[in-house]
Homo-oligomer: A and B are copies of this chain.
Amino acid sequence: MKIKQPEQITPQSKNFSRWYTDVVLKAQLADYAPVRGCMVIRPYGYALWERYQKILDGMIKKAGVPNAYFPLFIPWSFLQKEKEHVENFSPQTAVVTHGGGKKLKEPLIVRPTSETIMYYMYSRWISSWRDLPLKINQWANVVRWEMRTSLFLRTTEFLWQEGHTAHATLEEAEKEARRALRMYQKFYEKYLALYPILGVKSNQEKFAGAEKTYTVEIMMKDGKSLQAATSHNLGQNFAKSFNITFQDKDKKTKYVWQTSWGLSTRAIGGLIMGHGDDHGLVLPPRVAPIQAVIIPIWGKEDKKTKAYLEQVKKAAGNVRLEVDLRQEVSPGWKFNEWEVKGVPIRIEIGPREQQEKTVTLVRRDQLGEKITVSLEKLKDKLSSLLEEIQESLYQKHKDFTEKNSLFVDSWQEFKKAIANKKFVYAYWCGSPQCEEKIKEETKATTRCLPLNATTKKGKCVFCGKPASQRWLFARSY
């Protein structure tokens, strides 16, 4: 063989962030682009994103939110209209100053998020209660000039969906913000097989311009938390900045109540770091672009082996199937490569299998074990195995998260738990000063006040003042 084995992936235990980069590059999910902080999403990575899109887009449409498309460019003045929004996003923007060979009168911002450009249009489209609720989703690229970047997790340009709604009442807006949160929860649990913690962000951590930010936090294999999707109740902040009013049934003119919610290509990073192991990616079957790969193990192809391969393909049923017929690499090399790519099931067929009319299956998440199946039973076996893998990955991630979560009541314990890469649930008095100092000393931030948090008496883990609820603290991406 002239073609060399894929280079080793750095073990997670040795250097988790190098492991991550190795996997992204070697699985050909993405590559570095020749533009600062940008990446190229390669076909295999994009196929994964297309699976995400198909599933999430279906959920969004089912909730009565159609897609539309708003401009990439936002007039500089628009960004200035909402105070918190401009403070947060101004330093992160890419600015177009020249167009068509001339200097522009007013610079244009490349959208970091689309509230301002969309709500300008909303103010033109909404005039009566009959126009409400107005719900629109957009799949788009956005740009934020980040200082430190990382493939998928934090790139200058990234892809996402952003939903934006306007309602007649606060109650409706709150309901919609929670609906979106539950939608993301379902997406992560049912499809990405990841166990999400849902909660509300602190004032410090909430979206710039929001009244309340709901978040989905997920534990990565290094114990850090990934903010994996957010949903904002925007109150009337933008409505007032962009003058979005309607005449209500009572003939009075009122401001609308709004929400926005989004999930980005960052969710691919979350999948990698939530399930991956030292062999590479581990993909949950429901989002895997390829669910099973057939690798023939015979020296030469002849009529008989070809015919058997066709039989196997037919017997496999409706799974997303790939057949690796490359001659220039060995079966062992192929095993390795498809493991790096995280394909849930490998189907080996060799002379013995051909003779016995069977195939040998190997699960990506249980590499040591081989399963022999007859052709007649292959379809059912694949189908049940894929379900089993999906369920097992979820359970494993849930167990992992729970095993690494602690209730902590003293500052010593807190520091130790964070150093030990735990999710820490601790009382916090709510003061931004404590929040800031905790961050300084431990690098841990308030991830959220979990939705299911109960109200009890307690003392702030940092200052000892009275506190009523335990917040989730962790280091994060």
Contacts and interface: CB of A to CB of B under 8 A. Distances in A.
A121 B140 CA distance: 22
Interface stretch (A68-76, A271-279, A383-391): A68-76
Interface string A151-195: 000001101000000000000000000000000000000000000
A100 B40 contact: no
Contacts of A46: 66-69
Interface stretch (A30-38, A210-218, A359-367, A395-403): A30-38
A289 B95 CA distance: 36
A108 B40 contact: no
Interface centre among A71, A72, A110, A125 (most CB of B within 10 A): A71
A328 B130 contact: yes
A72 B156 CA distance: 10
Nearest to A78: B34
Copies of chain A in the complex: 2
Interface in A328-368: 328
The 5 closest A-B pairs by CB, nearest first: A100-B145, A43-B66, A41-B69, A38-B71, A95-B98
Contacts of A69: 40-41, 46, 49, 159
10 contacts: A33-B71, A35-B74, A40-B69, A40-B121, A46-B69, A71-B157, A72-B110, A94-B96, A95-B96, A99-B145
Contacts of A71: 33, 35, 38-40, 157
Contact of A33 (B41, B70, B100, B141): B70
A100 B108 contact: no
A42 interface: yes
Interface in A38-92: 38-43, 45-47, 49-50, 66-75, 78, 90-92
Interface residues of A, number: 59
Contacts of A74: 35
Interface centre among A45, A67, A69, A110 (most CB of B within 10 A): A69
Given A33-B117, A73-B157, A110-B110, A68 B94 contact: no
Contacts of A31: 121, 124-125
Contacts of A92: 100
A42 B67 CA distance: 8
Contacts of A70: 33, 40-41
